[in-house]
Structure 1
């Protein structure tokens, strides 16, 4: 038996109400989606139409600008004017970008200029070239203040003479420059004063010994060893300088001058060898023939030229007795007498505690490998040299 449609719907096969509601919802959702899509498409179409209108408007505006520029200002040159305006806008754009870039701001590049300009009264013009010159000068001063070592070949060293460089201040030369002292002319006093004023204010004197290459300034540092390994330019030097202790003054009864001898230390020292520098030629006095030919030397301060007559030359392992600079009376006389007893030659010179003494001291190995030995030359101040001095 078959069921009629009404019976089918009213029977067990009829769908539930919840299923019908779900189906209705799906239909409504589909219709809403279709409407939304239609609305979105319409919006896009309107936007595109408006964009086309905007483009058409901009193109029309540009064309109008060309026509106005050509008619009003530059007939027949509308495109040239438009191109010029474009270039102007490009430069304006680059200028804005430059100002907005922190690493390229003027206050970073030229702080001095910004400071100077900012401190100027409002409305008052300032000289840009002057500010640039100040900035360059400041940069130069900072660069020169930095420690720099400059190696200069002997042939390129600065020649010095009392006339040509009288007003030239070498104190302003960069660190590392050297001075060829052999080119410095004048008396010992003049050269000492010149070195003190223009090269190194630690210069207190000048020592020159005939028959040798000992012709150097004498320096006095903050300590005994300051110039042991420094030259007059305050640069490191293996040979150092000639120097005195800190207690030496113009009134010292015994001025002790020290200098290195690295190359002429044997018991039979060389004479006149050019490679022997500083006090390396001082041991020449150990030879009698040399002592007979050179009975005097010259040690001058920055204020006085002086002549000194040798009265004793000797080797010694007693490194203390001759180093006292302020002894007077019997103590000074005792030191003088001991030096004369130790002397390799008999100078026959009368010396007393009333005399001013200069003592020259350097290293030697004439008495063996020990470092505790010195070669010493002692002299007294005299008014002038006597060519008839006899040394035995």
Structure 2
């Protein structure tokens, strides 16, 4: 089989229905299932079924034969199937995206699969032009989402704090609802609306260490700070607005090299990443973000080195598409940044509640 996507991050193996039909396998061999797959944009695709096939990989005699359980889906794709980490683990395979190669042990030495640069590029472009980017999927745990059996009404617990609300059902009588609302208002102090409402939490729970390698070599400047590499800044400042997907990829890789010096880098670069997920179009939003990035880098922050034993502060920020954190130290009464970190939210992460996004930002920073 050709046009196969090897995806280390896919938790399942996918077989697209057109390829399934070409194999001449009867649809009656599919085992029914109702667990959906979730794609990049949150799009759900329900399975046609599950089938287990014996797959041989490699050139004789360096071959491996394993039974692979495929989830069969009927949707648009430039690929015939996707091999995820269940199969790669079963093969004990090692992948190299740089060399477009997969290697695996066999009884007669090391077997290998080689990709084709031209075909890989054609598939990539074809997938970018599709609306339902389903080339990398994850299986969603089968669960029943309970819908409310009654309408809910909002109750304000504190008239002076409009954000402090909850909801109660409407099937109960008016008298019961009024009594319940009154009870909730009188006991609202048991709700934790923010971290400030939890002052007695053990410091061992809320204090975290930044996961930095002790061998990381900082560049000490005369200004007593860590300065961004001017050559890397210059490389971005001299770039013209991208005209192709490849030029956008080059821009984002250059920005990634400066990530620790850029506050909320993912939010600043979001328009660029969106461009990579569709047919290339450098819209006004991209141009605005491009100019703002250059303005920011024209006077990049000077990062402050830490001192042994001093107290540090971690600031968290979240948006609809990214989480960010800034490590801060105080020098006198002045707060100075030590490190910036930012990460784009993926798929289900974008649907986290605000408090869970903050917790995720903390996990990302540590």
Please confirm whether the aligned pair reaches a TM-score higher than 0.5, indicating the same fold. no
Relative to total residues, which structure has the larger strand share, 1 or 2? 2
* TM-score, reference length from structure 2: 0.23
* TM-score, reference length from structure 1: 0.22
- The answer to which structure, 1 or 2, has the higher relative contact order (CA under 8 A, 6+ apart) is 2
Relative to total residues, which structure has the larger helix share, 1 or 2? 1
